[in-house]
Amino acid sequence: MSLSGRNGSARSVEWFVGGGGSSRGLHLAGFEALELVDKEPSVAATLGAAGFPASRIRIEDIARAAETSPSADLLWASPPCQPASRAGKRGGRGDSRSAFDAFLEALEILRRRGVLPPLLLVENVVGQNEHDADCKGSCPGCDWESLERVVAEFYPSTSTRALRSADYGVPQHRNRLFLCGSPRPFAWPTPSHSLESLASAKWVTGDYWTRHRNAPSSEGSMNQAEQRALTDGAKSPLLPWVTVRDALPDLVRSRSGRVVHERSESPLAGSEPWRLDLPSTVVAATDEKGTNYTKGMTTKRRTPMRASDTIYLATGIRRPTVDELAILQTFPSGAKFSGSVHQQYIQVGNAVPVVLAKALGLALREMIR
């Protein structure tokens, strides 16, 4: 394996590309996408609308694609996360949606052909590397260990890291797990944003409220995490975390024509407007269903599980649109997603945030220079 680096160029192949969040981010980081592979036909038009050439989009199984995959500097793979998600049954390889075996097979095909890229980045949900309490050798944690062993056989250096998307400018709490295989130790990207800076902008300088021409909500005083951040005393040199209000400033003003519940109908609807002034709960494909909180609930029985819960508690809007969720995933405003409404929610909900992929892409490019 050797890194090309010709004229600063960098070339990538991506598997399980979905709605193209990683593809857009890597493109912004200077990678040329040689091949984008996914089994879902609807993503072809989505990727095409983003400007990727149709000739480089392959709708087929990754093992078949691996038989003819071109030589590249980076292989980025985001296998389906549902089999390992804490929100599901964590069936691992026993889940019909699992692609771990197919992924390991495809890696072996690339190695056998001599075209295994010198850089590998695998992305998945935090929890994929955790063993179940009653693990009997076949849980998601076991699957991840199998992958780590294979990658360690193929690459001189391997490392695993969980990254918090909010620390890189994503307006949501989306923690993701990454495994990197490389010729030498990989320097993970350093955070660019912090809670400390957001707390300071809100409760010390007031710049946050001035920027939004708003005053702190009487129901939204400083929370405990912000108090702890300010108590630590050290001024953060980083940018503030990006909030829901930053990303979707018109959300409260755009209620006309929306499925909205007022507090007179449901005490929880719009009861926590302060949630607009923090990153959202994680965007998920299940946001298509709307909030978990039902109309008749009078007390909150669980913490918010997904972005629709955050938005409902903050505004009373039951279901955010595909476009709103895409912005929380840092897709550019107006990004187009193809297929049925259901397929669009899946593409957006399962995507890698664009700016997080860009941050990783820039760090990966440093390995090529």
More confident residue, 252 or 65: 65
pLDDT tens, residue by residue, 298-327: 666 678 999 999 999 999 888 999 999 999
Question: Are 116 and 75 in a shared domain?
Answer: yes
Query: Is the confidence at residue 154, as pLDDT, over 60?
Result: yes
Same domain, 74 and 200: no
Domain count, the chain: 2
Same domain, 199 and 144: no
Residues 230, 160 within the same domain = no
C-beta of residue 181 within 8 angstroms of C-beta of residue 119: yes
Residues 120 and 206 in one domain: no
Greater confidence (307 vs 257) lies with 307
Look up the CATH number of the domain holding residue 159.
3.40.50.150
DSSP symbol at 83: G
- The per-residue pLDDT for 90 is 47
Task: Give a yes or no: residue 334 inside a domain.
Answer: no
According to the model, what pLDDT value does residue 313 have? 92
The reply to whether 345 falls in a domain is: no
pLDDT at 136: 65
Domain that holds residue 160: 6-192+351-366
In a domain, 26, yes or no: yes
Residue 104 in this model has a pLDDT that exceeds 60: yes
Q: Which amino acid, residue 101?
A: D
Residues 175 and 203 in one domain: no
Residue 287 lies in a domain: yes
Residues 53 and 94 grouped into a single domain: yes
Task: Give which of 60, 64, 35 is closest to 47, Cα–Cα.
Answer: 35
Residue 341 lies in a domain: no
Task: Indicate if the pLDDT at residue 122 is higher than 60.
Answer: yes
Q: Is the pTM of this model over 0.95?
A: no
Are 308 and 355 within one domain?
no
Q: Does 127 lie in the same domain as 45?
A: yes
Residue corresponding to tokens 């995490």 = 225
Interaxial angle between packed helices 195-203 and 224-231, expressed in degrees from 0 to 180 and rounded to the nearest 10:
100
Give yes or no for a contact between 150 and 326, defined as CB atoms under 8 angstroms apart.
no
- When mean pLDDT is compared over 228-242, 295-309, 329-343, the highest value belongs to 329-343
Whether 340 is covered by a domain: the verdict is no
Assess if residue 173 is contained within a domain: yes
Which three-class secondary structure string do you get for 205-267? CCHHHHHCCCCCCCCCCCCHHHHHHHHCCCCCCCEECCCHHHHCCCCHHHCCCCCECCCCCCC
**Count of all residues that appear for the chain in the document:** 369
Of 54-68, 133-147, 159-173, 325-339, give the lowest mean pLDDT range. Answer: 133-147
Regarding whether 289 and 181 lie in a shared domain, the answer is no
183 and 37 both lie in a single domain: yes
> 218 and 81 share a domain?
no
